Amino acid sequence: MSIRADYVWFDGKLVPFDEANVHVLAHSLHYGLGVFEGIRAYQQPDGKAGVWHLDRHLRRFVDSMRMMATKLPYTQEELHEACLDTLQANGHTEAYLRPLSFLGMGQMGLGARGNPVHTIIATWKWGAYLGDDGLNNGVRLQTSTFTRHHPNAAMQRAKVVGHYVNSILARYEANDNGYDEALMLDQNGFVAEGTGENIFVVRDGVVSTPPVTNILPGITRLSVMEILAHEGIEVKEQFFGRDALYAADEAFMCGSAAEVTPIRELDRRTVGAGKPGPITKRVQEIYLAAVRGKVEWMSGHITKGR
């Protein structure tokens, strides 16, 4: 799928796609300090775009910049408008939105301060992140040999460009071994998250998910918890090991890109019945309907496009 579009929002202006360029000496390119978001817009019943939890994502973006001790030159409200402008300029009704702030060219070295802070917003069409088969029938995971960052090494609550080297190495390893995605454990051996998704397991009708200590506080994770609460299904935020997946009735992962994706296998062991379980299917069905404006009680979670 092509990531090309007509425009990219770049430092306050919509610029033609091929003119959205940076210098090779941009600081972030060398050292990895940048902050980003991944958001989805879906076509609504009126045919227009609707953005799922635009403000929760932008709040996390603002928070990530604060955690990186870097001043964002825009307010959350300005970025909200900019996201809608970009979608409209590109004529997208279904799209992935990518806000990114990074340090431009000026001084080199880790202690450099005062480099320009650039912000872009790109939008492109993106299908099922882990494939249609994964979304429908479940994905196969491998427990990664790479440990998630220690909380005192990288603040995993922030969505920081450089953190994703750890995710990429885990994803490469899993894919090279024939799996769809990696399951990442923390420094204590507890399940943390996928390389770009949060994790849920189901056992005896109770759903568990790791607490937000050293994982990305997923926006989809929160939506899933809201859906489960609405369905009267108990959710526990608690630590568990990979054995919880080996013994689970069902498991799934979720994220803005991955949406709600069932897990059918971990480390060559079948998870549950090896196909999407009833709670996973119910959550997926409600989520995919809600993002398209078809679930009344969640309609307030959508920002209407122009």
Ligand X SMILES: Cc1ncc(COP(=O)(O)O)c(C=O)c1O
Task: Please report, as ranges, the residues that interact with ligand X according to CB under 6 A.
Answer: 38, 167, 193, 196-198, 216, 218-221, 255-256
Minimum distance between the CB of residue 115 and ligand X, rounded to whole angstroms?
Answer: 25
Minimum distance between the CB of residue 113 and ligand X, rounded to whole angstroms?
Answer: 28
Which CB sits closer to ligand X, 123 or 256? 256
Which CB sits closer to ligand X, 7 or 39? 39
Our CA dihedral for 163, 165, 166, 167, rounded to 10 degrees, sits at 90
Minimum distance between the CB of residue 163 and ligand X, rounded to whole angstroms?
Answer: 8
Which CB sits closer to ligand X, 115 or 171? 171
Which CB sits closer to ligand X, 115 or 262? 262
Name the active-site residue from 159, 275, 294, 304. Answer: 159
Minimum distance between the CB of residue 254 and ligand X, rounded to whole angstroms?
Answer: 6
Minimum distance between the CB of residue 220 and ligand X, rounded to whole angstroms?
Answer: 3
Q: Is 125 a catalytic residue?
A: no
Which CB sits closer to ligand X, 115 or 210? 210
Question: What Å distances lie between residue 72 and 78, 137, 213, CA to CA?
Answer: 11, 41, 25
Q: List the catalytic residues.
A: 159
